[in-house]
Amino acid sequence: MDFELNKDQKMIQNEVRRFAREELAPYYSKWDREKTYPRELVRKMGELGFLGVSVNQKDGGLGESFVTEGIVCEELSRGDCSLTMSTHVAGHLCAGLLEHGSKEVKKKFLEPFLAGEQITAFCLTEPGSGTDAAALQATAQKKGAAYILNGEKSGITAIMDADFALVFARTEAGTGARGVSCFVVPCNLPGVSKQAYEDLGCNAIVRGSIFFQNVEIPATCLIGEEGAGFKLAMQGFDISRIFLCLEAIAPAMVSLQETIAHVKERIAFGRPLASFEGVSFPLVEHVSLLEAVRLLCYKALWLRDKGQSSTKEAGMVKWMAPRFSTNAIRDCIVLHGHYGYTKDYPLEQRLRDVLAIEIADGTPQVSKLVVQRELMGRAYLSYNYRH
C-alpha cells in the first residue's frame, strides 16, 4: 500500500493549488454576492487542462486517473467549492456521457466543454422525482429522424448559464429505469425555457428548472443506446459522488486550518484559546473524521482506476463527507467568536455551499440505501415494498 502521490500528481496538485489560491479564493465571495458565473475563469481552466482530467486522450481529455481528477477537484475546492460543483461534478457527469456519443456529438459538445468555452448541465431530477429518479416523467418520442422532447427538469446546477444540457427522458412508457434514454440538448433550441431559483448558497452557479415544450432534437443527439440512459447516469454517480465529497471536505479542511491558526493567536483568560481542551478537542475530532473520509474517497477512486466497483464506498462517503464537513465549518464559525458570523470571513458562505452537497447527487438517506443494498442485498430495500 502506497499513500504517496507520484511525481506528476504532485506537480498537478501544486499547480491547481496555486490556481485556486490566486484565481478562485479571492473572488469566491464576490461571485456569490453578484451571482456571476465566472466564464473567463472556466475558459482558463480549459486552457490549463483542468476540465475533463479523466476523459480519454482520444476524446480530447488528459486521460489521467480518477485519483488524479480527485486531486484536481479537491484543490480547486479549496478556493471555490461552488464553481467546482458545476465544472467537476455536473461537468464530469456530462463529459462521461458525451464520451458515449457519436463523433459529431463529441466535436460539437465535448470539445467546447473541455476548452472551457461552453457550460453544461446534468438534467435528471424532476418536480415529481428526485431520490426515486427512475420515476421520471419527461418524454422523448421518436418522430422520423428526430425525437420530440417534453417535460421539466428541476433543481439543475448552473442551468441558467448552461449552453447545452444532458437530459434524461422516457422513450418507452411504463418500463421504469429501462425506458429512460439520455440526450444532449442545446439550450437555445425553440421550445426550451428556463427559470432561476433563489438558493441558500452556491449562488454563482444559479440553479433552476429547464422546460421542454415540443422540442425537436435530431436522433444523433441520443447518447448511447435507447433505454440505456439510466444505467449510464448511475455509473456516472459512482464517481461524481466521490468528487463531490472531496469538494465538501476541502473547504472544511481550509476552515479548520484557519481556525487552528486563529485559536493559537487569540487570547482569553490570559491564555491562547488553543490551550483550552473545549476548543482544541472539537478541532481534533473534525480533522480526524475528515481525514478518514478523505482517505476513503481516494480508496474509492483507486478502486475505480483498478476497474473495480466503488458503489459501496461512494455511498459511504456521500453520507459522511458533507455532514462531517458542515459540522466542522459550523464549529469553525463558533470558534471564531462574533467575527466568525460576519460576511468578512468566507466561513458562512462555505457552510451554505457545503450544505448543498448533502442533497446534490443524492441525500444521506439514498446514500445509506446504496450502502445497505451492497451490504445486505436488494431483497431488504424498503422501496421494494411499494405497490
CB of 182 to ligand FAD, least distance (A): 12
Helix (H) or strand (E) holding 270: none
Q: Is the dihedral of CA 357, 359, 361, 365 positive or negative?
A: positive
Angle at 333 between CA 263 and CA 344, to 5 degrees: 95
Given the complex with ligand FAD, which of 11 and 196 has the nearer CB atom? 196
Three-state DSSP state, 142: strand
- Cα distance between residue 177 and residue 147, in whole Å: 19
CB of 268 to ligand FAD, least distance (A): 37
SS (H, E, C) 95-119: HHHHCCCCHHHHHHHHHHHHCCCCC
Given the complex with ligand FAD, which of 150 and 372 has the nearer CB atom? 372
CB of 345 to ligand FAD, least distance (A): 22
CB of 270 to ligand FAD, least distance (A): 45
CA atoms lying within 13 Å on the CB side of residue 215: 26
- Cα distance between residue 274 and residue 279, in whole Å: 6
Under the rule (CB under 6 A), what is the footprint of ligand FAD?
Answer: 90, 122-125, 130-131, 155-157, 202, 207, 356, 359-363, 365-366, 382-383
CB of 215 to ligand FAD, least distance (A): 17
Given the complex with ligand FAD, which of 67 and 184 has the nearer CB atom? 184
- Cα distance between residue 80 and residue 94, in whole Å: 20
CB of 5 to ligand FAD, least distance (A): 30
Given the complex with ligand FAD, which of 156 and 283 has the nearer CB atom? 156
Given the complex with ligand FAD, which of 236 and 282 has the nearer CB atom? 236
Given the complex with ligand FAD, which of 359 and 376 has the nearer CB atom? 359
CB of 329 to ligand FAD, least distance (A): 16
Given the complex with ligand FAD, which of 247 and 313 has the nearer CB atom? 247
- Enumerate the β-bridge partners of residue 194: 210
- Cα distance between residue 277 and residue 78, in whole Å: 27
CB of 161 to ligand FAD, least distance (A): 12
- Cα distance between residue 138 and residue 210, in whole Å: 11
Task: Identify each DSSP E strand in the chain by its residue range.
Answer: 120-123, 139-143, 146-156, 164-170, 180-186, 192-196, 208-218, 222-223, 267-268, 271-272
Given the complex with ligand FAD, which of 359 and 375 has the nearer CB atom? 359
Residue closest to ligand FAD, measured at CB: 130
- Cα distance between residue 153 and residue 249, in whole Å: 28
Given the complex with ligand FAD, which of 106 and 241 has the nearer CB atom? 241
Residue with cell 425553440: 190
CB of 366 to ligand FAD, least distance (A): 6
Q: Of 298, 292, 309, 349, give the one whose Cα is nearest residue 72.
A: 298
